[in-house]
A and B are shown apart, each in its own frame.
Chain A
Amino acid sequence: MIREGFSLGHSFIHRLDPRVKLVIAILFSIVVAVADRFTVLLSGLLFSLVLIAMARLKIREVFYRLLVVNGFILLLWIFLPFTFPGDTLFSIGRLTASREGVIYSLLITIKSNTIILSCIALIATSSITTLVHAMRHLYIPDKLAHLFFFCYRYIHVIYLEYTRLVNAMRIRCFEPKTNTHTYRTYAYLVAMLLLKSYDRSERVYNAMLCRGFKGKFWMLDHFSLKGSDLISGTVMLLYIVGLVFLQWGKTIL
């Protein structure tokens, strides 16, 4: 179920140091999230699109990903133009859409998609294991890193367990409907899942103790910053600084 499809590739972006990608993705997301000028956002969008193009991802899959994530944005488009105060742009029956409302919705749409595209290009192009590794190199708390490793590892295992339980339900002709029987069955499914996960966690921990676990994960492979990482990291950083100046230049200077 969890296919990290985007992480399989050999483009320039895929080969960049994950630490650089992670830092740039975070900085870029923050800047775009708080920016409110169309010039800044469109330059940001250009940045994300260039990265997507460089990562040579399948456009159809990227597009599908965007479609799924834009559900909430669609909800805003239904309400915001009509509730935002401002000049009337057009009216449907008794509802009047304001120009400011439409502009605001457009702003949010561009912002949201710009950030998502940059995250697809920079983050989804690394595997989760490498990303967590990169996060450890960027000094996130040790316990949190452990949680990430374990959680990611066991999502797959628990998903398999889940499909097994669902298959068992199907074999017994379970058909989900809106009734108590369905909800009870799903509740037992969740409870079984939690129970099995709980038992598994105890077995795993005991197995770790047997193998001499003393509360520390050793990092075996270390990343090395290559010249190309440094150069592209600097270029991207300069672009982000440029965006900051474009947005707040007047107040800073």
Chain B
Amino acid sequence: MHISEGVLSAPVLITGAALTAVAVGVGLKKMDYDRIPQVAILSSAFFVASLIHVPVGPSSIHLILNGIMGVLLGFAAFPAILVALTLQAFLFQFGGITTLGVNTFNIAFPAVVCFYAFGHAVKHKNSVIALCSAFGCGFVAVLLSSIMVATSLVFVEESFVQVARLVVIAHLPVMIIEGVLTVFCVGFLGKVRPEILGG
């Protein structure tokens, strides 16, 4: 889901950086000092989980989990994802410094959208509603992210359309798997520790 360095143009980079700066500012403001360890440790769990490879037919995908992050963290997902992506850029040179803004926004914005859209519904007493919204949470988060990645590519150069389309299509199986995983994951958390979803 990372866009590499050197691909995007200045207007896209600046827009991404500005949007991320504002959103991270809001996220930090909303996050009290006593929540810092919790946000940070979930952020590192997110980092580690993104190293998990799940098999799909002959190949495998790695998890993104921005839906669950959103439900657990709300607006604090912005700083959490910024930190995780910065560490990835510093440690593995995935993504990079100039694309940090765009990449953070593309992953964290869907997370926050999922928080507002599904955050309450996943705790619903009616298990059908809860299951459906958990699936929606995982699915929509990845769908939105891939559409945003595609859009940022098309804004740079119109002939990126093919690549952009491929990005969205390639993420279709990821969306379904993230949806299924989110259903099980949220179900498990709801049974074992319901208050964690109170977020």
Contact = CB atoms under 8 A, between A and B. Distances in A.
Interface string B41-74: 1111101110110111100000101001000100
A113 B115 CA distance: 37
A198 B162 contact: no
Interface string B30-42: 0101101111111
A32 B6 CA distance: 8
A85 B42 CA distance: 46
A187 B180 contact: yes
A147 B80 contact: yes
B86 interface: yes
Give the secondary structure class of B's interface: helix
Interface in B158-199: 159-163, 166, 177, 180-185, 188-189, 192-193, 196
Interface size, B (range) = 35 or more
Contacts of B44: 150-155, 157-158, 197
A198 B43 CA distance: 11
B89 interface: yes
A200 B41 contact: yes
A124 B90 contact: yes
A51 interface: no
Contacts of A162: 48, 52
Contact of B96 (A80, A83, A116): A116
Interface size, A (range) = 35 or more
Interface string A105-129: 0001111111110011001100010
A198 B105 CA distance: 25
Given A1-B51, A194-B42, A204 B37 contact: yes
B91 interface: yes
A249 B22 CA distance: 32
A75 B163 CA distance: 8
B119 interface: no
Nearest to B69: A194
Contact of A143 (B36, B157, B181, B188): B36
Interface string A201-218: 110110010000001000
A79 interface: yes
A74 to B, nearest CB: 10
Contact of B188 (A29, A178, A188): A188
B163 A80 contact: yes
